Amino acid sequence: MNKITFLLLSVFILSCSKNDLLKSHCTDPQAVNYNVDGTENDNACQYSVIGDWTVTKYTLSDGTNILSQFRYIDYTLYDDYTLEQEIGILNSTDYITYTGGFSLGGSNNSQLNFTLDGDSTSATITSITSTTLELNFDVDSSRIAILELIRI
């Protein structure tokens, strides 16, 4: 019986063309795991966080809009795992720059950990594409911050 099973499995594998085996994979050319031979997206695309990002939404779970207190908040994440955060001061041309580092962790790189001028924050990546990044992190025991960023 094992020989028959092996024979049938072998015939099936050999009868599949390369296109049949590679039908579904990441089909987004902006993803780091893009498969040029893929024909159906299997929703397993992985994206890099390296680059320039601007915060488009920064709210707390109680509805407080943090972003309204600033002209802008921008991040640059470098491939050596360092980062810069630039915050534009409201009603001014001045800005503040913070430097630090970041790391990815958690299952499937779902945690983005920031260290800015000695303060550490861990955020959960709730969504990521080649152009958008959504993060949640605990502000305190009762509120969660929700950030939406776009690549600039």
Q: What is the pLDDT of residues 57-110, one digit of tens each?
A: 999 999 999 999 999 999 999 999 999 999 999 999 999 999 999 999 887 788
Q: pLDDT tier at 30 (50, 70, 90 boundaries)?
A: confident
Cα–Cα distance measured from residue 14 to residue 11, given in angstroms and rounded to the nearest whole number: 5
d(CA 58, CA 137): 11
- What's the rounded Cα separation, in Å, for the pair 77 and 96? 17
Among 5, 10, 36, 40, smallest CA distance to 24 is for: 40
> Rounded to whole angstroms, how far apart are CA atoms 149 and 47?
14
Q: Which residues contact 81 (CB under 8 A, 6 or more apart)?
A: 101, 102, 103
Q: Report yes or no: 114 and 94 within 8 Å, Cβ to Cβ.
A: no
In this prediction, residue 34 has a pLDDT band, given cuts at 50, 70 and 90, of confident
What structural domains and CATH numbers belong to the chain? 2-41 (no CATH), 51-151 (2.40.128.20)
| DSSP classification of residue 65 | B
105 backbone dihedrals φ, ψ, rounded to 5°: -160, -165
Residue 23 pLDDT level (bands cut at 50, 70, 90): low
- pLDDT(3) > 70: no
The token pair that represents 20 in the structure block: 């049949």
**Average per-residue pLDDT in the chain?**
84
Inform me whether the pLDDT recorded for 9 exceeds 50: no
The identity of residue 131, as a single letter, is T
pLDDT of residue 87: 97
Percent of the chain at pLDDT exceeding 90: 55
Q: Is the separation of the CB atoms in 1 and 7 below 8 Å?
A: no
